[in-house]
A and B are shown apart, each in its own frame.
Chain A
Amino acid sequence: MAQLFHRSANAVARFTIFGGVFLLAGLGYVGWIFAHSSFMTGENVYLKQPVPFSHDHHTAGLGIDCRYCHTSVEESNFAGIPPVATCMNCHNIMWKREDMLAPIREAYAGGDAIQWSRVNDMPDYVYFDHSIHVRKGMGCEVCHGRVDRQPLIRQATSMQMAWCLDCHRDPGKYIRPREEVFTMGYRPTEDSRSMAERLLKEYDVNPGTDCGVCHR
């Protein structure tokens, strides 16, 4: 039978086989970068909100504590999003005719709620609980960044599993006294290593890394 392939086909075959390995590796790398990009994780992305509520003005500017609005963060897995009535505590007088706040006033008058776009959102197969993190000295800042400098809130970290585990394996890196959990821009006043050791013991901090801790 006559030869079907020219001899040079050998080179082509070798090239495709070895090249394919590099191509796959390259594709894998691009895929990995993509999976960790902010496009996929949502890190640092701003969402459109019905009212441009500024954490910057309300927390840093006016000094309002997180718990004034996120009332259940200490007791519940859910931090709580304030009802429009909470805004009206002040905006019944302040900026009462401002167009920007019209959706709040209308919702309040009609007994309705306002639909905020959700910024941090765990997949439903993950269980997360605020109260335990607050009680064990994990500051809002560690996970949500400098909220007091965000004119619009954004997701400050990747919120991927590796990120949760980074802290669950070594919470001493992030621990702070309970009184400082809500503080933004916290700087430890004592040597941080000895403080971490003391607090880890005092609060009995022991986050699990078993799958069942977060996937239950």
Chain B
Amino acid sequence: MKTDRWARSLVATVSVLISMAAFTGCADMKDQPHHEPLEYSSFFADGRSSRPLVEGTVARGHLRADDRIYRGLEADGSFVAQNPLVVDAALLSRGRNRFEIYCTPCHGRVGDGQGMVVQRGYKQPSSYHIDRLRGVEDGYFYDVITNGFGKMSSYASQVKPRDRWAIVAYIRALQLSQYADLRSVDAAIGARLEAGEVIDTRRHDAEGEEEHHGTGH
């Protein structure tokens, strides 16, 4: 009888110990054996768990066959003259939003090339409000965002193709806003301007702003 009890408690103790040992295997639930985005990996020589894509890989549904949209180029290799997307209030408002994130640090809010980083000593880009840049095709701006220009790096990894075209549309709107042709101004106001009078346009600007916000969302 005595040995029986002893044997039973031995079995119990051993099984408790075994199950405790088994549970320590689960103790590291905080750091499970899978990789979070960009986590370090000792498996690959360069230490990256996020592997670079093999050249030419195309994800399903991401074939970028349309050169007009994805490269801003016509079949003959010239720049697309007009934005291939429908330019409406929604696209413009998206463009403004993206422009103010990715471009204003250098090009400034109105595109005059006086952004904060330039004020700290970065190379100053040309203003968008010069004849040369008013004359270029829409595809030219798309190309600069995609491939960079001189000292300016490519923004392809930060800005998606659709957003690039939205930015292009917004740059066009900026150019118009800074270059109102006197002929398009009301004849009476035009005459006063020609006579050298300074007209306060702030009220008009404010209305324009409101319109922009109202249609944007």
Contacts and interface: CB of A to CB of B under 8 A. Distances in A.
Contacts, number: 61
A82 to B, nearest CB: 9
Contact of B153 (A63, A65, A88, A115): A88
Nearest to B105: A64
Contacts of B121: 93-94
Interface in B147-169: 151-153, 157-158
Nearest to A90: B117
At the interface, is chain B mostly helix, strand, loop or mixed? loop
Contact of B48 (A88, A94, A113): A113
A188 B139 CA distance: 41
A89 interface: yes
Interface string B26-70: 000111101011101000001110000000000000000000000
Given A65-B100, A68-B101, A125 B32 contact: yes
B120 A125 contact: no
B47 A68 contact: no
Interface residues of A, number: 24
B192 interface: no
Nearest to A57: B120
B179 interface: no
Contact of A112 (B32, B46, B122): B46
A112 B44 CA distance: 13
Sort chain B's interface into a size bin: 20 to 34
B123 interface: yes
Contact of B29 (A62, A86, A123): A123
A112 B122 CA distance: 25
Residue in A63, A88, A89, A124 with the greatest tally of chain B CB atoms within 10 Å: A89
B166 to A, nearest CB: 14
Contact of B101 (A67, A94, A125): A67
A125 B29 contact: yes
Given A92-B153, A94-B122, 7 more contacts: A64-B105, A68-B158, A71-B157, A71-B158, A85-B153, A94-B120, A124-B30
Interface of B: 29-32, 34, 36-38, 40, 46-48, 100-102, 104-105, 116-117, 120-123, 151-153, 157-158
Interface of A: 62-65, 67-68, 71, 78, 81, 83, 85-86, 88-90, 92-94, 112-113, 115, 123-125
